[in-house]
Chains A and B, each alone.
Chain A
């Protein structure tokens, strides 16, 4: 049986947090412990998104938590990050769902939307009464979104959208899709549209056969002559940069989230190693090779915490740059994946079953490593920032 999570804090990290930050983290931790942990293995097995948790998530303010007004909690970015950490300690898929709702749907409406769009959508999305998805990636354009084929054509007071989107979290459960398209009359400038998913010509289908993020919905979207009123265009979107700004928000949360997955793996491996006995009736925690693995994990988790905290502090001070966020996302997801693999090793055969969360985290993290800017793309972002030379 899995162990009760005991928290991970090797160097008194909590002392770097304010009372509010700790309280926010503890609230999210308790919520996940009480509500997600009891059902997550079943959800993962069945490939089921635990939608029943959405109303309470909304009530507690987990959606768009770092936005101000419109029923949002107005959290700092560090507090928001700690919530992401706790959600991903539960499951990357459920954290992805919250990331999309918050950073990829509510954030663009908040940042680029008209007052009418903000007033209508943000309170509904904050309460979880409406769900959203973010359509940027296409079947043929992942790391290079600038090549997108989705087009918007203006006809009178309407835009007509055509195109295909792929790997879209929450696609089939969304009420509104943030669709990025090149506008024909504007020299192919990329702009963002709010597309209600019940409009004629819009369809979404689930991606089946996933071995990762099984507790969240992943979809493909198809838009065939979908007509939306011109007021559904988000007026502040001006080129691909707007979409990339959204991704920056989400990536920031992922940097924190990965720490949560790593903590879950480390804590499980530590507790397991203390009760599993082998050779002379001694716990395997007393073996040097096991200690080496646990030491590696706690060291990397601790470094990741400090990295994310500093990036969060910069973000709160309005000084963060995208390469900082890239470093947190790239490093932390990598180290979490390595932690999952080491933890699996420590648990031996038990590590591959869903009696323990390790294998689920490991498979989830394979997606997390790729989405929101692949590990390699973040390498190039950091490379460009230090050398001044783009190498894409």
Chain B
């Protein structure tokens, strides 16, 4: 199986974030890490390769610093990497990110494309699905189990409230992976050393720019929620007060 894993570099969980001066995104002088669901997608790809043989290719779009997530993937066992390297990639919306990745892998054919179900920063959960659309492939989301069959794939999808669903679909396909599907491996120290000798192809902005369009989504303003304290006194006989409180909880607070 030839598998592509799309990985995003996101700000580290728990790091204190500060807004940039324009109030459109965070200040970027923070530590970064692999987007968690993407780490599970990579792990799943490596396990499929261990079972069925083949190749695992990892791709990311982002500035120079994003190379770190590719190095980590190579150290864990991916065979080669593709880096769409430019600061501008960090500011693409989901559809343009999907277009850029599709353009970068044109000419290659994968049996399976996996990515996390969403990113920990924007959380749009769109890139994987849009990539499938652009490549003309079927897709399935929130995958918690993958079995290769003679005709394609047998997949376990997570539904709500603890329910799940088994589905069958042909391959090649694009799957978005849920966190927790497997147990993540560590990069071994020997793996880190070997990663240096694995191929890493860089794709410049100009190479994919013709395939990109105008961003359809952009962040106008980011702000810290303003805390407000408002006290309303409900007066009257107890039955009347109770009726008003219930009404408030139902219609205004919407907790009932």
Write out the residue numbers on chain B whose beta carbons fall within 8 Å of the beta carbon of A31. 186
Tell me whether B188 and A24 are in contact (CB under 8 A). no
Tell me whether B193 and A75 are in contact (CB under 8 A). yes
Q: Chain A's interface: helix, strand, loop or mixed, by majority?
A: helix
Whole-angstrom CA separation of A30 from B31 in the bound complex: 15
Contact with A along B2-17 (1 / 0, CB 8 A): 0000000000001000
Contact with A along B63-82 (1 / 0, CB 8 A): 00001100110010000000
Whole-angstrom CA separation of A180 from B192 in the bound complex: 35
Tell me whether B192 and A20 are in contact (CB under 8 A). yes
Stretch at the interface among A56-64, A195-203, A235-243, A331-339: A56-64
Tell me whether B190 and A20 are in contact (CB under 8 A). no
Instruction: Name B182-218 residues within 8 Å CB distance of A.
Output: 186-193, 195-196
Tell me whether B71 and A23 are in contact (CB under 8 A). yes
Whole-angstrom CA separation of A20 from B188 in the bound complex: 12
> How many whole Å from B217's CB to the nearest CB in chain A?
31
Write out the residue numbers on chain B whose beta carbons fall within 8 Å of the beta carbon of A6. 14
Tell me whether A75 and B14 are in contact (CB under 8 A). no
The count of A-to-B residue pairs whose CB atoms sit within 8 angstroms is 52
Interface size on B, residues (CB 8 A): 17
Instruction: Name B212-254 residues within 8 Å CB distance of A.
Output: none
| A119 on the B face (CB < 8 A) | no
Tell me whether A65 and B189 are in contact (CB under 8 A). yes
Write out the residue numbers on chain A whose beta carbons fall within 8 Å of the beta carbon of B187. 23, 27
Closest to B67 in A: A19
Tell me whether B68 and A19 are in contact (CB under 8 A). yes
| A314 on the B face (CB < 8 A) | no
Tell me whether A24 and B186 are in contact (CB under 8 A). no
Write out the residue numbers on chain B whose beta carbons fall within 8 Å of the beta carbon of A30. 186
Most buried by A among B72, B188, B195: B188
Given the known interface contacts A14-B31, A20-B196, the answer about A60 and B71 at a Cβ–Cβ threshold of 8 Å is: no
Tell me whether B14 and A61 are in contact (CB under 8 A). no
Tell me whether A75 and B31 are in contact (CB under 8 A). no
A interface residue count range (under 10 / 10 to 19 / 20 to 34 / 35 or more): 20 to 34
Tell me whether A24 and B14 are in contact (CB under 8 A). no
Given the known interface contacts A7-B31, A23-B68, the answer about A73 and B186 at a Cβ–Cβ threshold of 8 Å is: no
Closest to A66 in B: B189
Write out the residue numbers on chain A whose beta carbons fall within 8 Å of the beta carbon of B196. 20
> How many whole Å from A172's CB to the nearest CB in chain B?
28
| A4 on the B face (CB < 8 A) | yes
Tell me whether A24 and B192 are in contact (CB under 8 A). yes
Whole-angstrom CA separation of A386 from B68 in the bound complex: 42
Write out the residue numbers on chain B whose beta carbons fall within 8 Å of the beta carbon of A7. 31
Tell me whether B71 and A74 are in contact (CB under 8 A). no
| A22 on the B face (CB < 8 A) | yes
Whole-angstrom CA separation of A83 from B187 in the bound complex: 13
**A19-B71, A62-B189, A73-B188 are known contacts; what are 5 more A-B pairs with Cβ within 8 Å?**
A27-B187, A61-B189, A74-B193, A79-B189, A83-B189
A residues near B, CB below 8 A? 4, 6-7, 9, 14, 19-20, 22-24, 27, 30-31, 59-62, 65, 73-75, 79, 83
Q: Which 5 A-B pairs have CB atoms at the shortest separation, nearest pair first? A: A61-B189, A73-B189, A60-B188, A73-B190, A61-B190
